[in-house]
Structure 1
């Protein structure tokens, strides 16, 4: 389900900036870029307007500006992202040791866990994968890759973000963010979701079974402390492959180790 690219709820990971210092045109341009995702790879101007909530005239100017800058390609009435968007991400990845430190670390722990290990950061009302292990041939990734977005309320990574974020923001998000019944076991009671998030805050990790994908259990641990979350490390595995509580806690222990090591990297060690 496509999430509106412009969220009215503040992201607790971002510093507060006065409205007078924010360019509304630039915000709208970013909304156009965010309209493209794995289910919306080719869009018309009308579709972009519908997804962003912006008027057609603004969408036309913003999209054609992005075409002019090289970040969007045009094919008749349709538009799509160009490979040039990778340049922006590449600078971030290289500057923060993703290739030399973070990726090898994720690969090493993936081999120990036997599943794909992912690094995610909060972004508005979602979590976004920014790195993922590649070494474990038998690991199951469940179709998610770098750049994939996850809902906060029904995934282990999302609940870990909510648990370690400022509580007022987390509670507002749980009350207000729309969600759907992803599986027969999806928790639909917002009060129960809040209770489970509070439990994650108390124990310091999150385990979510079969709520987002049927037959899949997610695990997550934080990088950073309460109210100072920097990122989340997570993995998923088939629920039927988990034999007992010892298996669950062993997986969490390994994720806590990788989170501790990642916390010392350049990306997260600076304040």
Structure 2
């Protein structure tokens, strides 16, 4: 049997810690989904070879996944490359139409975006990313690829740090070991930073995800106090100062989160 690479070894270890029976786990399905999520706004078209390199998978594995996804309509051949097909939208639609949290948060984001004339986003944790489930910009069309479903790195974004702070210490350590790709020293530093976010109850990040942009985020908790999402406001640093973010925006985000709590399940 071929030796697992570090990423797959970490995934398998995580499954064992979670108590799953490896015989019940479909690695073929996992790899098919990895192929789907490899496409993004910076890489809209990818060849088999590019996908194999990016995902560190054998080309034969990628080829089988692409042929299956093409047959199902989720990817479309484009010359010698592939791109996502419109059917992928049905996956997002299914999530949004069955997830009451998105319905509750979208009007909240709309209102906050208008109030502060800044972007407002709600996100959940998904592996190494914070994934947007509701988003609004003030009187602007969202840039393509930066609306619902757009991802930002969890360890570098205000949304992501707040989401990670909602995990208990053991779960947080296991999550970072699996998804961060950091060595032990860097991970220890990050865990200290996340613990500080948990104590403060918010996270402020500037010039990390995007140069000249800063944001501030708070956790969204459901009725029993469990953190299930994060809410942020972000804008260009020249539009709003850091003191304004803390003194003007943060109290409103906290008040909004408190009002939302009884409605989140």
CA–CA distance in structure 2, aligned partners of residues 230 and 200 of structure 1: 16
Q: Tell me the SS of whatever aligns to 1:47.
A: helix
Query: Matches of residues 47-196 of structure 1 in structure 2 within 5 Å?
Result: 47-97=50-100, 101-134=104-137, 136-137=138-139, 144-171=146-173, 177-178=180-181, 191-196=188-193
Q: Could you say if the C-alpha distance between residues 81 and 51 of structure 1 is closer, same or farther in structure 2, counting changes exceeding 3 Å?
A: same
Determine if contact 2:41/2:145 at 8 Å carries over to the other structure.
Answer: no
- 2:216 maps to which residue? 219
- 2:203 maps to which residue? 206
Root mean square deviation, CA, Å: 3.3
Determine if contact 1:127/1:150 at 8 Å carries over to the other structure.
Answer: yes
Could you give the per-residue CA deviations for residues 56-108 of structure 1, whole angstroms, max 9, x where no partner exists? 11111111100101111112311111111111211221223477543222101
Determine if contact 1:120/1:233 at 8 Å carries over to the other structure.
Answer: yes
Tell me whether 219-228 or 79-88 shows the greater mean CA deviation. 219-228
Q: Could you say if the C-alpha distance between residues 218 and 36 of structure 1 is closer, same or farther in structure 2, counting changes exceeding 3 Å?
A: same
Shift of 1:209: 2.3
TM-score by length of 2: 0.81
Determine if contact 1:114/1:139 at 8 Å carries over to the other structure.
Answer: no
CA–CA distance in structure 2, aligned partners of residues 6 and 260 of structure 1: 40
Could you give the per-residue CA deviations for residues 149-208 of structure 1, whole angstroms, max 9, x where no partner exists? 2112221111112211122343455567247xxxxxxxx965543333221110111111
CA–CA distance in structure 1, aligned partners of residues 196 and 102 of structure 2: 35
Q: Could you say if the C-alpha distance between residues 262 and 55 of structure 1 is closer, same or farther in structure 2, counting changes exceeding 3 Å?
A: farther
Tell me whether 249-258 or 90-99 shows the greater mean CA deviation. 90-99
- Of 232, 235, 242, the residue aligned with 1:234 is 232
TM-score by length of 1: 0.79
Shift of 1:258: 3.2
Shift of 1:246: 5.3
Determine if contact 2:120/2:232 at 8 Å carries over to the other structure.
Answer: yes
Shift of 1:16: 5.9
Could you give the per-residue CA deviations for residues 187-241 of structure 1, whole angstroms, max 9, x where no partner exists? x965543333221110111111223333222111111279943111112122234
Q: Could you say if the C-alpha distance between residues 248 and 139 of structure 1 is closer, same or farther in structure 2, counting changes exceeding 3 Å?
A: farther
The structure richer in helix per residue is 2
CA–CA distance in structure 2, aligned partners of residues 16 and 141 of structure 1: 41
Determine if contact 1:140/1:237 at 8 Å carries over to the other structure.
Answer: no
The total of aligned residue pairs comes to 252
CA–CA distance in structure 2, aligned partners of residues 24 and 227 of structure 1: 34
Indicate the structure whose relative CO is greater, using CA pairs within 8 Å and at least 6 residues apart: 1
Gaps of at least 5 residues in structure 2 are 1-6
